[in-house]
Chain A
Amino acid sequence: MTEQSIIAGCLHNDPPSQRELYSRYSPKMLSVCYRFAQNREDAEDMLQEGFIKIFTQIHTFQNKGAFEGWIRRIIVHTCINFLKKYKKFNENVDLIYAQNQPAKEETIPSIMQGKQVIECIRHLPVGYKTVLNLYAIEGFSHKEIGALLDIEESTSRSQYTRAKAMLETILTKKRIIDKPKEDFKWLAVLNK
């Protein structure tokens, strides 16, 4: 099925088309949710809420951009709302508090490196990882992040800087990246 035929089917509330759309995008979207969530169960709940929104709001998609981008944006907003709704975000979004919290690097499982990076991000304090996810991976601007999280734009910037530094430390300790060289703030060369 082409993407257009899937969209057309979903517009007619056609179950096979919806299943096809879900099968095609759910693995990537669950990964997105997983980076925001505390655990896999929360991630699956976020994914579920997100896809329900996608199927019920698909008529608002105007073919102006990539369909996957539209889906991803809905999923990300769902994740943020989920964290707010269940107070998993608000309770921990105190970034000043969060910056003093050590990352739980000792709990990061040493598995495949690709997943290790994800796990390193996940084990950052919730405020840090949220800003990092939104800015570095999802491409939101600090202004958008501020509006989304109800924080100042400058706060978003500063928290991102701290999150990045903490992540760098963790990645270095886990030997996923080398220590940055002095003349470059971020320089790491592995597997020389």
Chain B
Amino acid sequence: MENNYNTNDELEQYLKDEADGHKMYPSEHVWENIRTEIHGNPSWHALTFIAIAVILTLTVSTLYNYPPKTIIIKTNTIVQKLDNVVTDAAPEMDGSVKNESLEQQINPNNYTAVTLAAINDRNNIDAYIATTEDLVNQKRVAIPTDIVEQTRSSVNNVPAPVSKAMLFAEGSIFSDEIQPDINELSITENTTVNLTSKKSKYENLTQRKLTGSSDENIADTYLNDFAFEQKKHGMKPTGIELQFYFTPSTSYRKLEEDKSRLNFTSPTALSLSSTATANVNNSVHHTPALGIEVGAGVLYNLTSNFKVKTGLQFNIRQYNIDATQSFGMATIAFVQNNRLDSVSIFSMFGNTGANGYYSTTIDNKLYQVSIPIGFQWDFLQGKKLGLSASASIQPTFTLNKNVYMISTDYKYYANGAPFIRKWNFNSSIDLNLTYKTGNVKWYFGPQVRYQHLPTYNDVYPIKEYRLDYGFKIGITTPIFK
């Protein structure tokens, strides 16, 4: 760079030139913050529109359907059925009137006793309509006795596969609550819909009978209706629950060394004597690191507070190794088939006691998938809060091989891939505070997880067992059918 200033002023000019030529580009979030500060948060107009539309729709539909029209509709249906009674009766006297209205059919020249009777019936029907509407307004519905009797007889004629007991079973439209005297039914605010539904079935049966449906069809239809009735009462818990959880945890490890190699005369130049009496736990510097478990499971209720469970879980377990950056051959001595053997692996990391270029930290990390199988005991259940404990054993498969093991002379850390144990067993226990919100139950509590088999296979003489302390956060929600 050319610096050509000779006076004080030139220094200032030089600095000014350098500063003016300097540019830096701000992060995008700076503009986002400025825009938000000036114009506010961007709004999605479609969302507003949809929200207004939904509110309007709900409001209009609520107003339109209030008071509920179900009763009125069904009342009209009853009248329709009664019309049919009349028109069905007419063909016996005069087939030409079958499909025409009563008023059109009445011919003054054909006044007969039957016709007069029909008119009288119609008058009765008109009176009935008025009465029915009044009763409906008073939340009481009258059902003509003859229809009730017809229905009773149709029920009595139901063929063998459908027993009367079934039809009068609890929940049936002919159950005792309406059976004793169907002529007059009280409709309360709470039972309006159900009663309407039952009345509708009742009318359907009546209509089918009147229109000549066979008893067998009536029975089939009723069974279908009955089945439908059961579905309407659905959303019963299946006794199965889904569980989702994650558990941040801290991994610790314990090392145990098998020194059976010392019983053999070394055929190699292994410096075994230096570690003969040393404790491996004192020779390494490991620090716990944060791991996590994430999983989903299925719980089956054996009793109201005891459940068995299984699922799938992903684990990350790790700890840090204090090491040095150095190069050398890590020799692992081991006993196999009753003879001493060794393997040498090139290493880039030395133990802290060894000479190294500079300190470093190795991340000894395991990725695992496991299948927890266990139980959960909700031993204290309040309305909202509760306590639960669970335990599981977990067949575990190790996915990665990013692990480091100490050499026999404790001087180097080598890639532990050749010795890794792919399948392992863990067990886990946890104690949770539970909190229920609707159908979802939240779980919060401490968890301990222990690895039963050493991380490496039986050939590697230093046995590593891992122990995780975690805090479980999860939810369960029941499955309905």
Contacts and interface: CB of A to CB of B under 8 A. Distances in A.
Contacts of A55: 34, 38
Interface stretch (B14-22, B325-333, B409-417, B424-432): B14-22
A56 B38 CA distance: 8
B274 interface: no
Contacts of A22: 31, 34
**Secondary structure of the B contact surface, majority rule:** helix
B35 to A, nearest CB: 7
A151 B11 CA distance: 24
A186 B38 contact: no
**Secondary structure of the A contact surface, majority rule:** helix
A191 to B, nearest CB: 6
Contacts of A164: 8, 11
A92 interface: no
Interface string A159-187: 00000100110000000111000001111
Interface string B1-45: 111111110111001101111111111001101110111000000
Nearest to A19: B31
Contacts of A15: 35, 39
Interface size class of A (residues with CB under 8 A): 35 or more
A177 B24 contact: no
Contacts, number: 104
B30 A27 contact: no
Interface size class of B (residues with CB under 8 A): 20 to 34
Greatest chain B CB density within 10 A among A15, A56, A114 is at A114
Contacts of A177: 3
Interface string A118-155: 10010000000000100111000000000000000000
Contacts of A35: 19
Contact of B11 (A40, A136, A189, A191): A136
A18 B446 CA distance: 53
A34 B31 CA distance: 17
Interface of B: 1-8, 10-12, 15-16, 18-27, 30-31, 33-35, 37-39
11 contacts: A13-B39, A18-B35, A44-B26, A44-B27, A48-B30, A55-B34, A137-B15, A186-B10, A187-B5, A189-B4, A191-B1
